[in-house]
Amino acid sequence: MTERDESAPTVAVVGGGAVGVTAAHDLAARGADVSLFERGALAAESSGRAAGLLYDAYAEDVDAAVGARALERFRAFDRSLPGFSFTPCPYVIAVREGDPDADAVPAMVERMRDHDREVSVVDPDALGERFPALRTDDLAVAAVAEGAGWTDPPSYVRALGERAVSEGVAVETETAVALGPRTDGGREVRLRDPGADGDSAAETRAVDAVVVAAGARTRSLLADAGVSVPVVPYRVQALVARGTYDGPMAYDATADAYVRPHPDGLLAGDGTEPVPADPDGYRREADDWFREDVAAVLDERLARRGSADRADRDLDDARAWAGLCTATPDGDPLVGPVDPAEGDPTLFVAAGWQGHGFMRAPAVGEAVAEGVLASLAGVDFDSPDSPWIGAFDPTRFDGDEAFEIVEGMSLSNRTEER
């Protein structure tokens, strides 16, 4: 374990998912004295229920850069992080005949190619010849991103959590916290006493900075510190069906559903409910309507050679679940300082991933680590030397905005200029 430098900045990271663990690891690797607090186990919430699709096929400048850096790090971790693996796999975007978004796909792909992404428009017949596992005769257009892959999300969080401990991070699981007030030297973190009622604290820690990367609980945590952010949780669903699937990762944009290979067969989703969800009271089991919808999509999208190969043959006993994603008014995350008071920043947020949090985690966690340390060193957010991502500035919102939750994977989100 790395020895701690008494003069190093002290940082508390709240949230043991992919972004929080990455930020904690990267902060410690850069010399900070880091404590990571997680109310349950690492990867117990959204990261543990994520689908594990990884791609950099974005048309927008910032998304493309973040996606490319994330995949670069995922591949590096595949070579260097015990317990984690990245499986290369092409990613297909399929649009059915009659879908008005089909006409926008070639321009979208061209913008992706402008970012040096290896993406191409593919004739549906040619797509079917390359990937016999897919049915393509009902498609108007398709695109294939070559530089994609998939992984098991909990394995990333746990493996990097172990690496973080070796870097000196104090990982405290089963530890709920509340944010204390700003102090002359930074912030207070109050460890909640699990046996007490109300806001009583078992212990109070003084730190230079706090990073809140708590997913669906981000809004309530920051509210206790007097900060309002428009981060709203919503429910999504997925399942793993037994069988054999040797095709690519595929997103049926018309049906808003995806499929990818899985060691047990195939993983499919998405089952989005575009309404706010309670992180403490949402239904974690999949719904019957979701199973029926997925069965229909797989029956339509996967090639069949006979009754024994029906796409829905194993869905009755499929392992299915629900998890939470978080939305923002414009679909971009909030990453950066959120201090309500004047002075140097001490409170930071990283949340609002619109379903893309896990696949961005290596890049965003890195940006958080570099940004926090730069802010503590006196570098302004808007400075040319700042490592923060300007488009993700949390202060672009007032915090009390009302907005409609939109599925983050939707094709319209990929084709619109932002």
- Average pLDDT score, the chain: 92
Whole-number pLDDT of residue 201: 63
Contacts of 198 (CB under 8 A, 6+ apart): none
Whole-number pLDDT of residue 92: 98
Q: Could you read off the pLDDT of 106-138 as tens digits, one per residue?
A: 999 999 999 999 999 999 999 999 999 999 999
Whole-number pLDDT of residue 160: 98
Q: Could you read off the pLDDT of 219-256 as tens digits, one per residue?
A: 999 998 999 999 999 999 999 998 889 999 999 999 99
Whole-number pLDDT of residue 412: 54
Whole-number pLDDT of residue 355: 93
Answer yes or no: pTM beyond 0.85: yes
d(CA 390, CA 336): 9
Q: Could you read off the pLDDT of 12-54 as tens digits, one per residue?
A: 999 999 999 999 999 999 999 999 999 999 999 999 999 999 9
Q: What confidence tier does 260 reach under pLDDT thresholds 50, 70, 90?
A: very high
Q: What confidence tier does 282 reach under pLDDT thresholds 50, 70, 90?
A: very high
Whole-number pLDDT of residue 299: 92
CA 238 to chain centroid? 15
Whole-number pLDDT of residue 311: 45
CB 245 within 8 A of CB 266: yes
Q: Is the pLDDT assigned to residue 306 strictly greater than 50?
A: no
d(CA 35, CA 14): 9
Whole-number pLDDT of residue 406: 84
3-state secondary structure at position 273: strand
Q: Which domains does the chain have, with CATH numbers?
A: 10-50+154-231+329-415 (3.50.50.60)
Burial of 100 (0-12, 13-18, 19+ CB in 10 A): exposed
Q: Beta strand 53-54 with 334-337: parallel, antiparallel or unpaired?
A: unpaired
DSSP state of 12: E
Q: Could you read off the pLDDT of 352-405 as tens digits, one per residue?
A: 999 999 999 999 999 999 999 999 999 999 999 999 999 999 999 999 999 999
Please indicate whether residue 25 or residue 310 has the higher confidence score (pLDDT).
25
Please indicate whether residue 317 or residue 283 has the higher confidence score (pLDDT).
283
Whole-number pLDDT of residue 243: 85
